[in-house]
Structure 1
Amino acid sequence: METVKLYVIVFDSTHSAIAAETMLKEENIANEVIPTPREITASCGLSIRFNIDSLDKVKNILKQGSVSVNGVYKLERRLNEKQVEKLM
């Protein structure tokens, strides 16, 4: 069975999640607003999932913007095992 990897941005507020989604779309970075995975507890409940190929661009955009970000995480799921790694 293959490993499923998710890369998500977690926010302190819904407003920040929507603002970040807009910023990423303006830069043509594919993303999707999703409920925050339960493995990550501290958030407003909304996160943005994105492709790992965009990680450096996403980090730069978030640093330049005035959006409050709780963190950027990599989640890996394989069978019943889940791992969470904070990237930023």
Structure 2
Amino acid sequence: MVRDGDFVAIFNSIHRVMKAEKVLKEHLLPILLIPAPRALRADCGLAIRYAAADRQAVEGVLSASGLLPEEIFVREGESYRRCDGPGDGSARA
């Protein structure tokens, strides 16, 4: 369901993730609402998946809408790396 290089946005409530999905789809962005991967802690159990090519647009819309995720991860092989913030691609230790 999550391919290598895809980003996964984790939200702190079902309300926020559903609102984020609605806003992103209104902007015609290619995202998918998915069950949160087991490897990631997610209070609401859902996450939004998007491709690296769409990261700037997705996170820009979320930021402008006041819907930044609690955490963002990128899939790298069999694991996930936590990213510091929108669009930077860096990892936290």
Aligned-partner Cα distance in 2 for 1:62–1:18: 12
Report the alpha carbon displacement of residue 6 of structure 1 after superposing the two structures with TM.
2.4
Asked if structure 1 preserves the Cα contact closer than 8 Å seen for 2:10 and 2:69, the reply is: yes
- Structure of higher RCO (CA pairs closer than 8 Å, 6+ residues apart): 1
Report the alpha carbon displacement of residue 8 of structure 1 after superposing the two structures with TM.
1.0
Matched length: 83
Aligned-partner Cα distance in 1 for 2:46–2:38: 11
Runs of 4+ in 1 over 4 A off after TM superposition: none
In structure 2, the CA distance between the partners of 1:52 and 1:68, relative to structure 1 (3 Å rule), is: closer
CA RMSD across the alignment: 1.8
Report the alpha carbon displacement of residue 66 of structure 1 after superposing the two structures with TM.
2.7
Q: Residue type of the partner of 1:85?
A: R
- What is aligned with 1:26? 26
* Structure 1 position 74 matched with structure 2 position 71: no
Q: Residue type of the partner of 1:25?
A: K
Structure 2 regions of 5+ residues with no counterpart? 86-93
Aligned-partner Cα distance in 1 for 2:70–2:33: 15
In structure 2, the CA distance between the partners of 1:28 and 1:76, relative to structure 1 (3 Å rule), is: same
User: Does the residue aligned with 1:54 lie in a helix, a strand or coil?
Assistant: helix
User: Does the residue aligned with 2:72 lie in a helix, a strand or coil?
Assistant: strand
Identity %: 28
Q: Residue type of the partner of 1:86?
A: C
Aligned-partner Cα distance in 2 for 1:22–1:67: 11
Task: Return the index of the structure with the highest Cα Rg.
Answer: 1
Report the alpha carbon displacement of residue 87 of structure 1 after superposing the two structures with TM.
4.3
